[in-house]
Amino acid sequence: MKLIIATIKPFKLEEVREALTNIGVRGMMVSEIKGFGSQSGHTEIYRGAEYAVNFVPKVKLEIVVPANMAEQVVSTIASTAKTEKIGDGKIFVLDVESALRVRTGEMNDDAL
Q: With a cut of 90, say whether residue 43 has pLDDT above it.
A: no
Region 97-103: what's the mean pLDDT?
A: 95
Q: Do the beta carbons of residue 20 and residue 27 sit within 8 Å?
A: no
As a whole number of angstroms, the distance between CA 12 and CA 2 comes to 23
Q: In what order do the strands lie in the sheet with 90-95?
A: 29-35, 56-65, 2-8, 90-95
Q: Do the beta carbons of residue 37 and residue 87 sit within 8 Å?
A: yes
Q: Do the beta carbons of residue 59 and residue 9 sit within 8 Å?
A: yes
Q: Report which of 33, 10, 27 is spatially closest to residue 81, judged by C-alpha positions.
A: 10
As a whole number of angstroms, the distance between CA 112 and CA 101 comes to 8
As a whole number of angstroms, the distance between CA 13 and CA 15 comes to 6
Model pLDDT for residues 45-99, shown as the tens digit of each residue? 667 777 676 778 899 999 999 999 999 999 999 999 999 988 899 999 999 999 9
Region 27-44: what's the mean pLDDT?
A: 80
Q: What is the pTM of this model?
A: 0.85
33 vs 38, more confident: 33
